[in-house]
Structure 1
Amino acid sequence: MTARKYRLGVARKTVNVLVAACLRRGVPIAGSTGWLLTTRGRRTGADRTTPVNVVEVGGERWLVSPYGQVGWVHNIRADATARLWRGATRETWEVEEADAATAGPVLRAYVRKLPVTAPFFDAKPGDPAEAFAAEADRHPVFRLARSRA
């Protein structure tokens, strides 16, 4: 069975608006590690904000794009700065994109923590990290490297 392809339809847009509204107010979403990520648009230079989940693996924090090469991924590759916020909490990080071997365990941990994303992966939650590393090119992973507080 092949992984589902992500499409930002009306339902997902509605969910994103509701989640973002909660996160702006600092209200946690059950089972989520949600933050609002603001990046600088690679073409316009305008700020772009989207809800994301940050996972902790191996004592480090990671941004994962379970839905692939989405807008924030392109923006963060152009300007390796992640501005994360939730309520009154604000953090600014320099990020580094992980190679496939490093991304594998992070992707596996992400799918286990947020099983709603599992249909977008060919690897299953119980598979070894190598199975996730094999599809790391379709699910970019970024380490929150240095705080720029």
Structure 2
Amino acid sequence: MSTTAHVKKPGWVTVHVVNRAVAWLTRRGLSVWGSRVLAVRGRKSGQWRTTPVNLMTFDGQQYLVAPRGHVQWTHNMRAAGGGELHLGKKVDVFTATEVTDDDKVPLLRAYLERWKAEVGVFFDGVGPDSPEAELRRIAPDHPVFRVTVTN
């Protein structure tokens, strides 16, 4: 078994076209399927880092799921313990609590139900209709954070 963390780096089109377009719309107050611009302090530099994310509401709670795995924003989130979610001029300051692998199954299922067309390729063939065992298998590869708005 590999000890390397699961990461799926975005391609050029995603970085330079899709993410920029979604971030541009979101910064102007137009949410694309729950999109927000996440701002979190870098764990080494202390500088604010931003990336577009999908904010999911499940059972009255809000969550951020990392479809690409253990990427930079997830490492920064663990170190910072929270950040900001931007939609237009609205900024929600929040704290983040990482969800345990055992509690991720319904969250991953809900996330895939909503965004499978956009992110399904990053889940190794697992989808919203997959058996619980398959969702449990991929849970360690996809960090999930519960977001609690503090402002």
TM-score by length of 2: 0.88
Identity across the alignment (%): 35
Please identify runs of 4+ aligned residues in structure 1 that moved more than 4 A.
none
Could you tell me how far 1:7 is from its partner in structure 2?
A: 2.5
Structure 1 residue runs of 5 or longer lacking an equivalent are none
Distance in 1 separating the partners of 2:60 and 2:31: 22
Distance in 2 separating the partners of 1:12 and 1:20: 12
Contact residue 118 and residue 125 of structure 1 kept, 8 A: no
**Aligned residue number for residue 114 of structure 2:** 113
Structure 2 residue aligned with 1:9, among 2, 8, 11? 11
Could you tell me how far 1:90 is from its partner in structure 2?
A: 1.0
Contact residue 67 and residue 139 of structure 1 kept, 8 A: yes
Distance in 2 separating the partners of 1:112 and 1:133: 16
Contact residue 104 and residue 136 of structure 1 kept, 8 A: yes
Q: Report Cα offsets for 1:18-51 as digits up to 9, x if no partner.
A: 111111101232xx11000000001100000000
Could you tell me how far 1:130 is from its partner in structure 2?
A: 4.1
Q: Which range moves more in the overlay, 129-138 or 103-112?
A: 129-138
| Aligned Cα root-mean-square deviation (Å) | 1.4
Size of the aligned set, in residue pairs, is: 142
Structure 2 residue runs of 5 or longer lacking an equivalent are 1-6
Structure 1 residue aligned with 2:28, among 25, 28, 34? 25
1:75 counterpart SS class: helix
